[in-house]
């Protein structure tokens, strides 16, 4: 009998499909729909420090007197945080799938402050979105050091698993993941998708770019999942970014992922895609004589493949050296 159970960041999941943090996980109605559809775990929409502060600033600007600033800032922060904590409590009460909270901060004190209240609300784990684009004003190691410092401080005060949702723009990803593992992180998600921009040449202004990932984006996710899982053994990796089919889910697990985060695919195909992926995975496993996820997890990662250099090829001409017009 096929068994799709797996573990990620110390959590026992009924299957490896995790609904990623997005607008699809920001209300109980949507969360219950994902739970009913069979999601192995659900990551709530991120609590953004910037969003809280932006809201505070707007209210302060229309206030009649400056003495209102502290009150407004405190009220807005508590209102946002309380709503988020209530969402965690409700989700834990009404859903069978593990509930993973998510926060995105840029001030060290806020990571600690929010994380403690999230744990107390009952979240099963905490996903951290640690990212700041280095446009030249920071040292090369700034982002890496920020990740390790946040994990180090959080592990002093919370006991639930801490998961880092990684950016692709890391100079030495395996080394950073190894450091995070040593500090007690429970797992890593590869990768985060950030705001995409474009330029409107008619109106001469910066606009938003594509919202969703494309199937072609999965190649880099697959490459780094295989490399990181091979170089940092016994550490949980989740594939994200560019997954648009059941085949992608299987490939991610073969590369070493223990879980698969879905987002763009759920927006485009609906929550019914979860059941379809699971059915196809079961059929594929049966055809290939695999009874459980661990039977093929990491079977083709950087450590286990016969040609690990295939994951390291980056030169364009290596792909097209034999091509003739």
DSSP secondary structure, 236-269, as one string:
EEEE-SS--SHHHHHHHHHTT-SEEEESHHHHHH
Q: How many CB atoms lie within 10 A of CB 186?
A: 22
> Is residue 325 domain-resident?
no
pLDDT tens-digit map of 221-237: 999 999 999 999 999 99
CATH of the domain at 32: 3.20.20.70
pLDDT tens-digit map of 138-159: 565 767 888 899 999 999 999 9
Torsion of CA 80, 22, 236, 239, to 10 degrees: -160
Give the integer Cα–Cα distance in Å for 205 and 183: 44
| pTM across the whole model | 0.85
> Is residue 1 domain-resident?
no
DSSP code for 292 = B
Residues linked to residue 42 through DSSP beta bridges, in sequence order = 19, 99
77: left (phi over 0), alpha (psi -120 to 50) or beta: alpha
Residue 28's domain comprises 6-320
> Is residue 129 domain-resident?
yes
Task: With H, G, I as helix, E, B as strand and everything else as coil, classify residue 299.
Answer: coil
Task: State residue 215's pLDDT score.
Answer: 84
Residue 152 has φ and ψ, to the nearest 5°, of: -60, -45
Domain count for the chain: 1
Q: CB of 33 within 8 A of CB of 271?
A: yes
When pLDDT is cut at 50, 70 and 90, the band that residue 58 belongs to is very low
Strand 259-262 vs strand 17-19: parallel, antiparallel, or unpaired? parallel
């Amino acid at each position: 009998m096929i068994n799709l159970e797996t573990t990620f960041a110390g959590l026992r999941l009924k299957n490896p499909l995790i609904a990623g943090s997005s607008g699809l996980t920001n209300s109980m109605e949507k969360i219950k729909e994902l739970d009913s559809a069979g999601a192995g775990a659900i990551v709530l929409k991120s609590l953004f420090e910037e969003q809280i502060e932006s809201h505070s600033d707007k209210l302060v600007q229309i206030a009649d007197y400056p003495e209102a600033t502290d009150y407004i800032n405190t009220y807005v922060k508590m209102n946002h945080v309380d709503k988020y904590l209530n969402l965690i409590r409700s989700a834990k009460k009404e859903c069978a799938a593990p509930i993973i909270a998510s926060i995105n901060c840029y001030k060290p004190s806020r990571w600690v402050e929010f994380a403690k209240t999230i744990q107390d609300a009952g979240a099963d784990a905490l996903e951290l979105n640690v990212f700041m684009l280095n446009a030249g004003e920071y040292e090369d190691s700034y982002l890496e050091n920020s990740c390790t410092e946040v994990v180090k401080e959080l592990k002093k005060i919370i006991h639930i698993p801490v998961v880092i949702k990684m950016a692709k723009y890391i100079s030495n990803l395996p080394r950073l993941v190894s450091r995070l593992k040593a500090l007690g992180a429970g797992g890593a998600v590869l990768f985060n998708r950030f705001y995409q921009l474009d330029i409107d040449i008619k109106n001469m202004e910066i606009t938003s770019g594509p919202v969703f990932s494309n199937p072609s984006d999965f190649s880099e996710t697959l490459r780094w999942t295989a490399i990181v899982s091979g170089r940092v053994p016994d550490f949980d990796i989740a594939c994200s970014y560019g997954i648009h089919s059941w085949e992608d889910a299987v490939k991610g697990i073969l590369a070493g992922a223990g879980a698969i985060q879905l987002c763009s695919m759920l927006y485009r195909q609906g929550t019914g895609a979860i059941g379809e992926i699971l059915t196809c995975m079961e059929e594929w496993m049966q055809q290939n004589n695999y009874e459980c996820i661990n039977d093929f997890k990491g079977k083709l990662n950087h450590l286990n493949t016969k040609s690990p250099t295939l994951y390291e090829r980056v030169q364009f001409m290596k792909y097209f050296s034999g091509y003739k017009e």
